[in-house]
Amino acid sequence: MTSEQADTDALRRKTRQHYDRFQFGFDQEEILQEKFDNRLMGEAIREIAQPGALVVDVGCGACRVARLGRRHTQADTLSVDLSLNSLRYARAMDPGPLVAGDNMHLPIASGSADLIISNGVIHHTPDSRLSFHELARILKPGGTLVVSVYDRDGWYYWVWHYPGAGIRALRRLIGDAGIKYTIFPFFHIGVLVLLSLHTRRFFRLPIETSWNLFHDQFTTPQCEFHTFDEVAAWGKEVGLQWREQRREAANQLATLRFRRPLESEPTGASAA
Ligand SMILES: C[S@@+](CC[C@H](N)C(=O)[O-])C[C@H]1O[C@@H](n2cnc3c(N)ncnc32)[C@H](O)[C@@H]1O
């Protein structure tokens, strides 16, 4: 094994341990509805017309996509995650098929998915670009890929790097027990206020969900940021057509939508 391979394996293991400990929930009804109503992922789910189309959610967390797919379409869903505890959490939420797998080596046949959703995942893998390529591999001709990454040009880049570095340093000193009684209450109240203002009613956010969200925002072992142009270029490399892009989740995420052309169509061309 090369040292590069060993580093990749170590990072993947740390990420799995992170999400085994802090499963990403954030799956309250208002949050699900916002994804469906306002996000590119919701639009793509709404457009699924044929029963039995396959929707694959890679890095599914609490299976928010599968739940929306089941509720609003007659599609089949497949939810994949690296973290077994996240899949256990998801099992309690959604009866659909779950697969333990790594985004960089998906245990899924090439060209099998009609719609792939990757929401906030590839920037946590050891190599975002190769993870993107792997998503493209499993996409059917005519199929859609919606991928959201942390936006290099958004505010969160600065938060992760500056207050975030301080929080990670403090955590090394005082541990999670210390963080829970110092910084975390401010985070929890801040998120409650923002979500309540956004939804115009008191938002109920369980402490456990908020604690795991805090760790998703500040302590993940791997966190990369990408521009729209970078992700669009990855799409070109693997012959996908760029269709649309949008800043989402209060400008934290850069979301792009791609389509794999049919075999009879030219590859790699941008949509007009
Ligand atoms: C921020 S959460 C997003 C969850 C979900 N996509 C959502 O929007 O609710 C990131 C998820 O990606 C998963 N993940 C991280 N690295 C992964 C990898 N290499 N392969 C598959 N899943 C991965 C984590 O376990 C976690 O559940």
Write the secondary structure of the chain as one string of H (helix), E (strand) and C (coil).
CCHHHHHHHHHHHHHHHHHHHCCCCCCCHHHHHHHHHHCHHHHHHHCCCCCCCEEEEECCCCCHHHHHHHHHCCCEEEEEECCHHHHHHHHHHCCCCEEECECCECCCCCCCEEEEEEECCHHHCCCHHHHHHHHHHCEEEEEEEEEEEEECCCHHHHHHHCHHHHHHHHHHHHHHHHHHHCCHHHHHHHHHHHHHHHHCCCCCCCHHHHHHHHHHHHCCCCCCCECHHHHHHHHHHCCCEEEEEEEECCCCEEEEEEECCCCCCCCCCCCC
Phi, psi of 199, rounded to the nearest 5 degrees: -95, -5
pLDDT at 266: 66
136 with 257: CB under 8 angstroms? no
The pLDDT score that the predictor gives to residue 267 is: 57
| Of residues 111, 118, 172, the one with CA closest to residue 149 | 118
Query: Which residues are near ligand 1 (CB < 6 Å)?
Result: 12, 15, 19, 24, 58-62, 64, 81-83, 86, 102-104, 119-121, 124-125, 216
For a mutational test of ligand 1's pocket, the pick from 82, 89, 215, 248, i.e. the residue with the most ligand atoms closer than 8 A to its C-beta, is 82
Cα(24) to ligand 1 centroid in Å equals: 8
Give the pLDDT score at 271.
Answer: 42
Ligand 1 atom closest to Cα of residue 24: 2
**pTM assigned to the model:** 0.95
Q: Cα(218)–Cα(163) distance, rounded to whole angstroms? A: 9
Ligand 1: centre distance to CA 44 (Å): 19
Sequence spans of domains, the chain: 3-154+225-259, 155-218
Residue numbers in the chain where pLDDT is lower than 50: 268-272
Query: How many A from CA of 263 to the centre of ligand 1?
Result: 31
Q: What is the distance in A from the centroid of ligand 1 to the CA of 19?
A: 8
Q: How far is the CA of 61 from the centre of ligand 1 (A)?
A: 5
Please identify, by atom number, the ligand 1 atom nearest to the C-alpha of residue 62. 9
* pLDDT value at residue 110: 98
Nearest ligand 1 atom to the CA of 126 is 19
- Residue 216 CA to ligand 1 center (angstroms) comes to 10
Quote the pLDDT of residue 47.
95
Among 169, 61, 3, 108, residue whose Cα is nearest residue 11: 3
Domain 3-154+225-259 class? alpha beta
pLDDT at site 126: 97
Measured CA to CA in angstroms, residue 145 lies from 49, 116, 244 at distances of: 16, 5, 11
Contact by Cβ (8 Å): 123, 57: no
pLDDT digits (tens, 9 = 90+) for 54-76: 999 999 999 999 999 999 999 99
Which pLDDT score, from 0 to 100, does residue 272 have?
36
What pLDDT is attached to residue 198? 83
Ligand 1 nearest-atom number relative to CA 12: 19
